[in-house]
Amino acid sequence: MQIAKPVTNPAKQRKALFQAPNHRRHKLFAAKLSPNLRSTHGIRAFPVRTGDTVRIMRGDHEGFEGKVSRIDLMKYRVYVEGLTREKVDGTTIFVPVHPSKVMITNLNLDDKWRAEILKEKKAQKKVEKVEQKPAKKPRTKAAETKEEKIEKKMPAREKPREKRATGKKKATARKTTAKKKEELAEELPKPEKKQKVRKTSAKRKATDKTEGET
């Protein structure tokens, strides 16, 4: 089975975005929920629909709140009631907003299928939380006795260990040891050196003659 690698080429990413099918486009319309909705439904984000009340969080119209009147799946834009602007010719048009710049403050739950999806997601989150938290094992007597033994041994290790000398400290330590050795050598009595007697040429000839006669 081949594993699909993540696409890093911007041209391919844009092509996948603009040629995406509707079921993928619907997921890309997900906007974050307000803290109240997050606590009730247990979800961080949910796709925007017509009828949802929405607050704009970024841009020129930051803080504006209103109902979603229309959604453009092809251009990935949301249109909010009351958010309009005038053109040069005097006509008013709705200002398009990207769903990433929006926070849902109230959900439209007229559709039963949408309400069921919210319930299912909430149940899934609860199951995931239970699975993530492993059950704590009860403490046995053997573990308690081990902990008591460790606590008894702890006071013996209170003394800090001597640190080994490194760098400049090593050099200074070597100098001190060398000085001590020199002082000890000066204190000890020096052995007397034997003086070498030099032989003259006459003496050498005499010793050579005696060796030749023998």
In this structure, what token pair is assigned to residue 79?
A: 């249109």
Give 164-170's long-range contacts (Cβ < 8 A, gap of 24+): none
Q: Give bridge partners of residue 31 from the DSSP assignment.
A: 46
The pLDDT of residue 131: 74
Per-residue confidence (pLDDT) for residue 49, from 0 to 100: 94
Q: Tell me if 146 is assigned to some domain.
A: no
Count the Cβ atoms, other than its own, within 10 Å of residue 80.
Answer: 24
Give the sign of the dihedral formed by CA 107, CA 110, CA 114, CA 120.
positive
Can you give the CATH number for the domain in which 50 is found? 2.30.30.30
Residue 145 in domain? no
Is the whole model's pTM more than 0.75, yes or no? no
Does residue 166 belong to any structural domain of this protein? Answer: no
Task: Give the number of C-alpha atoms closer than 13 A to the C-alpha of residue 61, restricted to the C-beta side.
Answer: 20
Q: Please tell me the predicted confidence (pLDDT) of residue 176.
A: 75
Chunked into runs of 10 residues, the chain (214 residues) has average pLDDT values of 81 94 93 94 93 95 96 95 95 96 95 92 82 64 68 58 60 74 72 62 71 62
Classify residue 2: in a domain, yes or no: no
Is residue 52 in a domain? yes
| Residue 143: predicted pLDDT | 65
Decide if 130 is inside a domain: no
pLDDT at residue 105, as a whole number: 96
Domain assignment of residue 170, yes or no = no
Comparing CA positions, the residue from 26, 77, 82, 24 lying closest to residue 53 is 82
pLDDT of 26 reads 93
Does residue 35 sit within a domain? yes
d(CA 51, CA 48): 9
Range of the domain at 15: 10-124
The total of structural domains in the chain comes to 1
Q: Which amino acid is at 49?
A: R
pLDDT at 178: 78
